[in-house]
Amino acid sequence: MRKMEELKKKLCYQRKNFWKESSEKEKKNAFDFSEGYKDFLDKGKNVRESVNYFEAELLKKGYQNLDKKANGNKIFRLSKNKNAAIAIIGKKPILEGINIVASHIDAPRVDLKQNPLFEDSETNLGLLRTHYYGGIKKYQWMSTPLAIHGVFVKKNGEVLNVSIGEDENEPVFVMPDLLPHLARKEQYTKKIGEAITAGSMNVIFNSIPYIEDEETKEAVKLNALILLNEKYGITEEDFLVAELELVPAGKARDSGLDKSFVLGYGQDDRVCAYTSAQAIFDAETPEKTAIVYLTDKEEIGSEGNTGAKSIFILDFIADLLKYNNESSDSLSLRKTLINSQILSADVNAAINPNYPNVHEKENAVHLGFGVSITKYTGSGGKRASNDANAEFNAKIIKILNKENVNWQTGTLGKVDEGGGGTIAKFLAQHGAEVIDCGPGILGMHALYELTSKADIYSSYKAYKAFFEKA
The residue among 447, 399, 386 whose CA lies nearest residue 108 is 447
Give the residue nearest to Mn ion (CB).
269
The single-letter DSSP state of residue 295 is E
**Could you give the string, one character per residue 329-368, with x where binding to Mn ion holds by CB under 5 A and - elsewhere?**
-----------------x----------------------
CB of 408 to Mn ion, least distance (A): 18
The residue among 292, 223, 231 whose CA lies nearest residue 58 is 292
Q: Is 119 or 346 the residue whose CB approaches Mn ion more closely? A: 346
Q: Is 102 or 196 the residue whose CB approaches Mn ion more closely? A: 102
**Could you give the string, one character per residue 26-45, with x where binding to Mn ion holds by CB under 5 A and - elsewhere?**
--------------------
CB of 410 to Mn ion, least distance (A): 13
The residue among 398, 390, 451 whose CA lies nearest residue 267 is 451
Q: Is 142 or 300 the residue whose CB approaches Mn ion more closely? A: 300
Total chain residues near Mn ion (CB under 5 A): 3
CB of 443 to Mn ion, least distance (A): 12
Note whether 433 binds Mn ion by CB under 5 A.
no
Q: Is 57 or 296 the residue whose CB approaches Mn ion more closely? A: 296
Q: Is 283 or 447 the residue whose CB approaches Mn ion more closely? A: 447
CB of 276 to Mn ion, least distance (A): 13
Note whether 268 binds Mn ion by CB under 5 A.
yes
Q: Report the DSSP pairing between strands 341-344 and 98-104.
A: parallel
CB of 299 to Mn ion, least distance (A): 5
Q: Is 126 or 419 the residue whose CB approaches Mn ion more closely? A: 419
For 349, the 3-state DSSP assignment is strand
Q: Which of 106, 269, 296, 468 binds Mn ion (CB under 5 A)?
A: 269
Map 408-448 to HEC letters: EECCCCCCCCCCECCCHHHHHCCCCEEEEEECEEECCCCCC
- Rounded CA separation 302/465 (Å): 27
CB of 134 to Mn ion, least distance (A): 7
Note whether 245 binds Mn ion by CB under 5 A.
no
Residues 6+ positions from 16 with CB-CB distance below 8 Å? 369, 370, 406, 408
Burial of 72 (0-12, 13-18, 19+ CB in 10 A): exposed
For 34, the 3-state DSSP assignment is helix
CB of 379 to Mn ion, least distance (A): 14
Cβ atoms < 10 Å from Cβ of 355: 11
Interface region with Mn ion, contact rule CB under 5 A, candidates 141-149, 180-188, 261-269, 305-313 = 261-269
Q: Is 134 or 233 the residue whose CB approaches Mn ion more closely? A: 134
CB of 103 to Mn ion, least distance (A): 8
Task: Please give the distance of CA 253 from its chain centroid, rounded to a whole number.
Answer: 17
Cβ atoms < 10 Å from Cβ of 156: 6
Give the residues lining the site for Mn ion (CB under 5 A): 268-269, 346
